[in-house]
Chain A
């Protein structure tokens, strides 16, 4: 009974909670039980907040029984990546440096969820300081994939994704600086969205790289993602990059809309970068997904986007430099307390010259023009979220298209970074499984502040495929007892320092295209792309 309860989505649970068919108390209990059953395998949490969650559940129950139903998220258990400040609750950022840090404030997003009645059950494991795509955390142990605990869940929001995929939380909060929401969502077979830069407040979320950081939800379905984003999004005076664009009710706009709900929608795909060097199984699944979109009425067309790969490479001039600025003080006095796989990243940041950083910010601003032009021909862009499925925790190398590669190297795993560089909204939805039973994600990128259209397409796709209801992660089966968390020592694979000798010439080449009046994008708001009136109709 409890198991079924925990496995439900917000969309299924909310009406039952409102009708008092389900009590938040039993729901929270179901999630806490699921944590006990799975945590030994998954290590998805750094802190589990059993007592606090039970107490809040009782309060919620009382409110609802007394007729004070706050809305869709009332009584829904959620988890937050341990980068989100939580008042009175240890917030480690997955690091040894902050292992005992207890903030005296909540991040804006956590406050919004709690005000909406959601119940925090735990703080998720994460790649240290959110700086990596595997969640191979040296201080708290790696988080693992519910579909196969030998495998990484993806990162950096790996614990958040594993928790939702294994139903120990109904939804979770992650952060995304280069793909850290979308990649683990894809590898764990759930939905994750990074909205437009400025759409969701980052106040109280430990920064990795201010000008690329995004906060957002990981959920079991598109409808759930739309619902949570409606609560998270909106202007926050405490976040200087926050946008005051009005926030629509994303979920209420979702409609299945007959046989061809995507009729008239132009969906683009780009071979360069996005479809380069894909795992053949991933490639096949994405091709199939595009056929489904086409069947749903979308006009699928190929587009060419210049310099994508180079932009992704120079991206690190921004992220590494800002990361170093954040950690400079601690790094100079206690570098040994930083994990061995993030130390090289910080070292990279130390060496980047200011000129290269600024030149990259200029390129970034200038590149908005390129994206804006691309979206004159299309309404949405689709791509694989990751080029490969989850790989083994600690694996030194994998074989990809006949070559031995370190899967942590730039360009191997994720196809997500361009949306951080341009600030456009992008979602990952499950689009099938490899023969080994590992999930694969389809990524859909829209234009600034048009999350609605992204949801619309993702929802239509999800309705048509229903991958979610087909399979349940293996880890959920046949478990009724508490599994002890293993204290394991895992071999940590070193990441390489980025090679400036390679990157600087790429930057120099790109810079030649810059007009003299190009300015850096220190804190930019992505430029809205004008849309055809037909499209506007389609969204409304």
Chain B
């Protein structure tokens, strides 16, 4: 028997499964065992679908034994953020607004994963409606590196579960950084694809024009494998792009960064960084330079306006969607979310339109920037994960964001681990690329991961047991 361990990746597992050296049921049992042992403290799931998962693993096993191997996700256990529909299982959105809601059809991403043979283990915990923080009813998901710290959100259960090795990957959503933040805080890899790449059909909206669906995994290679399965045109999503298939060939596992032009903003993204973050990121940049990359300083204009415009759009769209519930049954929302959502009623339509116009303007500006550089490299967050207590006392509705830019412009953006703070918390490095250049972004990330072991470091499991 193969010694399964927490370091396992989708790519490694898939190779063994394809070779029939590892059975999907065995693999699932390993993860279910870990979930049973640690979940009660880490709180990464809202629903664990033990029976369905077992059945799917069994089915995968039968198919593979019969010679019908479907590809690298066949028999791979993953979780879905509980804002993504899985038919016949409750979808809570992490809220008490309609917690008994049971969708009758799968979201398009869910269906694609099932078609690829993935074994869906459960519905991951999240910040309520993918914003602000968790509903008190469900409590905090814990950061596997430190139980007193936030896991990052809103795809909190996804980031934490991947780091804790409860699943090999998870599908999250990202409207202002909700895949990349937990990836960064939990020390895993998270990819927000290009707007239009992955269907949003069957995913509860937070903000239609900013929402993205994407993977959280251990490695860039695993993210590429998941992206290939979930990408593609979907007529049920108005924003879906016709040529949105992701060609795994475009992820070419670079061995050097020779000739790559990395744009490094000389302002905004490097202002007021926590010293540990600044150190880790600058070390990472040096490492990438050693690997052949050319660092090109970039001056960015209008970032503060962009942040405000992002906020206006997000809050206005969220308010339009939630207005009726805010009026009729507000008690279903957690107090923090309600506070944030109610703000949306005060923005004017003209400010919303203006914000959408700013998108056009910035899109043109960034076209010019991407004529000079291949990717932009920044820290994912200005700090490492904060204490939960500190987060709860924080009364600011919106804080500085390094991640909103990619949502505002629809650019693909990756977060990978690039070091640790003095307190032992992971630091994330963000790599943003041109529209539909996920292959290039992931290749650069892969090259860095081939030369570093930050993503392979594991937290101490003992702290997960009370």
CB within 8 Å for A354 and B319 given contacts A317-B349, A321-B349, A328-B354: yes
Residue A264 at the chain B interface, CB threshold 8 Å? no
Give the B interface residue count (CB, 8 A).
27
* Distance (whole angstroms) from the CB of B83 to the closest CB of chain A: 13
Residues of B287-308 at the interface with A, using a CB-CB cut-off of 8 Å, are none
Q: Is the CB of A324 within 8 A of B320?
A: no
Considering the complex, give the chain B residue whose CB is closest to the CB of A349.
B350
Q: Which of the 9-residue segments B16-24, B248-256, B340-348 touches chain A? A: B340-348
CB within 8 Å for A520 and B357 given contacts A356-B349, A359-B320, A362-B320: no
Encode B328-354 as 1/0 by CB contact (under 8 A) with A.
000000000000000011111111111
Q: Is the CB of A357 within 8 A of B349?
A: yes
Residue A325 at the chain B interface, CB threshold 8 Å? yes
Q: Is the CB of A353 within 8 A of B349?
A: yes
Considering the complex, give the chain B residue whose CB is closest to the CB of A521.
B238
* Distance (whole angstroms) from the CB of A500 to the closest CB of chain B: 11
Contacts of B346 in A (CB 8 A): 353
Residue B356 at the chain A interface, CB threshold 8 Å? yes
Contacts of A322 in B (CB 8 A): 350, 353
Contacts of A350 in B (CB 8 A): 348, 350
Contacts of A26 in B (CB 8 A): none
Considering the complex, give the chain A residue whose CB is closest to the CB of B324.
A511
Residue B111 at the chain A interface, CB threshold 8 Å? no
Q: Is the CB of A325 within 8 A of B208?
A: no
Considering the complex, give the chain A residue whose CB is closest to the CB of B317.
A358
Q: Is the CB of B208 within 8 A of A354?
A: no
Q: Is the CB of A355 within 8 A of B323?
A: yes
* Residue from B319, B324, B349 whose CB has the most chain A CB atoms within 10 Å: B349
Residue A351 at the chain B interface, CB threshold 8 Å? yes
Q: Is the CB of A351 within 8 A of B353?
A: no
Residue B316 at the chain A interface, CB threshold 8 Å? yes
* Distance (whole angstroms) from the CB of B162 to the closest CB of chain A: 28
Q: Is the CB of B316 within 8 A of A354?
A: yes
Residue A65 at the chain B interface, CB threshold 8 Å? no
Residue B205 at the chain A interface, CB threshold 8 Å? yes
Q: Is the CB of A355 within 8 A of B344?
A: yes
Give Cα A447–Cα B321 distance, bound, in whole angstroms. 30
Residue B312 at the chain A interface, CB threshold 8 Å? yes
Residue A522 at the chain B interface, CB threshold 8 Å? yes
* Distance (whole angstroms) from the CB of B438 to the closest CB of chain A: 23
Contacts of A356 in B (CB 8 A): 349
Q: Is the CB of A355 within 8 A of B238?
A: no
Q: Is the CB of A351 within 8 A of B320?
A: no
* Residue from A325, A350, A353, A359 whose CB has the most chain B CB atoms within 10 Å: A353
CB within 8 Å for A354 and B354 given contacts A520-B320, A522-B209: no
Residue A299 at the chain B interface, CB threshold 8 Å? no
Q: Is the CB of A321 within 8 A of B350?
A: yes
Give Cα A355–Cα B317 distance, bound, in whole angstroms. 7
Q: Choose among B201, B209, B348 the residue that contacts A354 (Cβ–Cβ < 8 A).
A: B348
Contacts of A524 in B (CB 8 A): 238
Contacts of A349 in B (CB 8 A): 349-350
Considering the complex, give the chain B residue whose CB is closest to the CB of A357.
B349
Give Cα A520–Cα B321 distance, bound, in whole angstroms. 10
Contacts of B351 in A (CB 8 A): 325, 354
Give Cα A350–Cα B350 distance, bound, in whole angstroms. 7
Q: Choose among A354, A362, A365 the residue that contacts B349 (Cβ–Cβ < 8 A).
A: A354
Closest 10 CB pairs of A and B: A321-B349, A357-B349, A354-B316, A358-B320, A325-B353, A354-B352, A352-B349, A354-B347, A325-B350, A324-B350
A residues near B, CB below 8 A? 240, 317, 321-322, 324-325, 328, 349-359, 362, 365, 511-512, 516-517, 519-520, 522, 524
List 17 extra interface pairs beyond A321-B349, A350-B348, CB under 8 A.
A240-B360, A322-B350, A324-B350, A325-B353, A351-B348, A352-B348, A354-B319, A355-B316, A355-B320, A357-B352, A357-B353, A358-B319, A359-B323, A511-B323, A512-B324, A517-B205, A519-B208
